[in-house]
Structure 1
Amino acid sequence: MSGVVTATRPGPVPGSGKVLVLGGTNFDVIVRAERFPEEHEKVRGNAYTALPGGSAANTALGLARQGCDVRLVSAVGDDALGRLCLDDLGAGGVDTSLVRVDAATRTSMAIVLSSGTGKRMMTFPGADRDAAFDAVAEADVRDVDHVHFVGEPTAPLARVVGLARRYGRSVSIEWNGRDMSGLAAGPGLNLMNVDEAARLPGADPDDAAATARRYARQLSGNVILTLGADGALWAGPSGEVVHEPTRAVDPVDRTGGGDAFDAGVVAGWLLGEPPSACLRRGLTAALHVITKIGAHP
């Protein structure tokens, strides 16, 4: 796969880097084992960690590490885990003034079983993100250059995306296994992994590039797929595809790898870099995360 792709504009002014990130914040408990247990089987883990996580929170931290000015819109409970999450984000340079602290519920949690090459996850919903999205004002959107989001395509999230489009802010969407077509039409970045893309309506499960091209044309935007050990590809709406390879590694834990990739790609996009450079930036960030346990540096 090759060709010259011009990233679809209008987009951010090169060099701008104020980003509003919307989505989940939770506390992760990650257990590392050589393989997953069978029914009624006990498998001994060889490492574990417990630390703040969540796709949006991880991406916000990744963007801050890339040098962006980041403000997170999310929700946590008024509990010890919520305070740990907020402290972690603040220490990482993320503005948490739009994170809602809900006194009536707990912070969301994720339990992750990781085998290095694969993972299984169980999530426990907590604080209401939609209430945080509802509180986003027009001024909050006008104050940034770019809006990135991950989550269910709910009405409160759609409202913020609509504001971003109205005020000419560029948009990136982590599809995260969902069909986000209803919110994704127009210039911007649509991020997903190859397995998620293969499950989309009308996808060609044997041809990731064809699926990416189809959705890029359909959305009039850019579609970026991670391909695991094969790197990543970028499809523009005019049909060209750029493929960027990655170096082979033995992953320790894949948790947060996609979030780090998203942060690298978005940061490159905000700097005005071409698709190949954006992909390299994202792949480098992902490699840094998946070669250790937990999504933090």
Structure 2
Amino acid sequence: MGRARVCVLGSANMDLVVFAERAPELGETVAGRRFVTVPGGKGANQAIAAARAGGDVAMVGSVGDDPYGRQLRAVLDDAGVDTRALANVAETTGTAHILVEDGGENSIVVVPGANGTVHGLAYGLDEALTGAQLLLLQLELPLDAVLAGAKAARERGVKVVLTPAPAQPLPAELLKCVDLLVPNESEALVLTGKDDVNSAAHALAELVPEVVVTLGADGARWLRRDGAGEHVPAPSVQVRDTTAAGDTFVGTLAVALGEGRPMGQALRWATAAAALSVGQEGASTSMPTRARIEEFEARTFGAFGR
């Protein structure tokens, strides 16, 4: 089994995280108990998750030439991510302002910063796609850059995996290039206007070849356009912070698919990785290594190769 080759075109943010008993109501002030800064952004998170899961990963995007940008680059480098296509720009590095409640749920405000300077065919993407099996995309970069990346991947025969977050209308031109769409439950409902996840999944499967809807504590639901599908339950774990669970899932899923795993096995591996991530605080800091994923997946679901 060869090493999965994954390219990520996406955002790199510094996460500014406050932990509090609960989120304030509008106009209300509540006391927080702790503040930390953690490297994040959906693109960087997925790249780190894929690298820790054993993938050969390249990251394409932009950061500022400032302390946050230098820290993000160092964390990606330390994880083994190729950052040659992560450009330095004059704009400040993007930030995500995150409030995590004691129950583990979170709310996030993102300030794009350098991420907002990525337009059209991103710097270094051509080279980064060379030899790649999958391109991971999200919607924290300008849509024209996402579309250009998807088209470039499709032209090269690289599988396109899109996380439609933050949720917004998806142009038909983009959907034509997507091989696998991975929304969470709320994103699936927003994208389709449906009031239940089953209907939403079927509606999305009419637009793209395959859909995986992540369901938090309920696991994940896979549906293929031809009607094939599977529901994988989530392991029962103590939840501390759900911030990076979705990105951990996608990065790990990409590695499993790049290694040629059948979708059912890939889903179990990714679900195990996401469950491990919610037991730790932070985004990139919570992502498990391949060894931890394999041990936990085997203990939870049985042997990975089964």
Q: State if a TM-score over 0.5 links the two structures.
A: yes
Q: TM-score, normalised by structure 1?
A: 0.88
How many residue pairs get aligned? The number is 280
Deviation per CA, 1:174-201, whole angstroms, max 9, x where unpaired? 1112333531325621111011111113
| Counterpart amino acid of residue 17 in structure 2 | I
Distance 1:248 1:181, change over 3 A: farther
**Are residue 248 (structure 1) and residue 236 (structure 2) matched?**
yes
Gaps of 5+ in 2: 287-306
Structure 1 CA distance for aligned equivalents of residues 149 and 201 of structure 2: 25
**Within 5 Å, which residues of 2 pair with 1:230-245?**
230-245=218-233
Where does residue 43 of structure 1 map in the other structure? 30
Query: 1:27–1:186: structure 2 CA closer, same or farther, 3 Å change rule?
Result: closer
Any conservation in 2 of the 1:99–1:132 contact (CA below 8 Å)?
no
- Per the TM alignment, residue 285 of structure 1 is displaced from its structure 2 partner at its CA by 1.3
Find the aligned partners of 2:62 and 2:30 in 1 and give their Cα distance.
Answer: 34
State the shift of 1:241 in Å: 2.2
Q: Does 1:178 align with 2:200?
A: no
Q: 1:77 to 1:187 in 2, by over 3 A?
A: closer
Q: Are positions 1:61 and 2:48 aligned together?
A: yes
C-alpha distance in structure 2 between counterparts of 1:155 and 1:148, whole Å: 15
Q: Distance in 1 between matches of 2:250 and 2:220?
A: 11
CA distance in 2, matches of 1:137, 1:187: 17
Residue 188 in structure 1 maps to residue 176 in structure 2:
no
Letter in 2 for 1:56: G
Task: Tell whether the 8 Å contact from 2:14 to 2:68 is kept in structure 1 after alignment.
Answer: yes
Alignment match of 2:118 (pick from 122, 125, 130):
130
SS at match of 1:253: coil
Superposed CA RMSD = 1.9
Which amino acid in structure 2 is aligned with residue 114 of structure 1? V
Query: What SS is found at the alignment partner of 1:199?
Result: helix
Distance 1:218 1:242 in 2: 18
TM-score (norm: length of structure 2): 0.85
Distance 1:132 1:57 in 2: 19
Unaligned runs of 5+ in 1: 1-13
| SS of equivalent to 1:144 | coil
Which one-letter code corresponds to 2:227 in the other structure? Answer: G
Q: Greater relative contact order (Cα 8 A, min sep 6): structure 1 or 2?
A: 1
Change (3 A) 1:133 1:84: farther
Shift of 1:126: 0.9
Letter in 2 for 1:281: W
CA distance in 1, matches of 2:142, 2:176: 13
- Return the offset for 1:262: 0.5
* Residue equivalent to 2:91: 105
Q: Once structures 1 and 2 are overlaid, which stretch shifts more, 240-249 or 83-92? A: 240-249
Question: Cα offset for 1:72?
Answer: 0.3
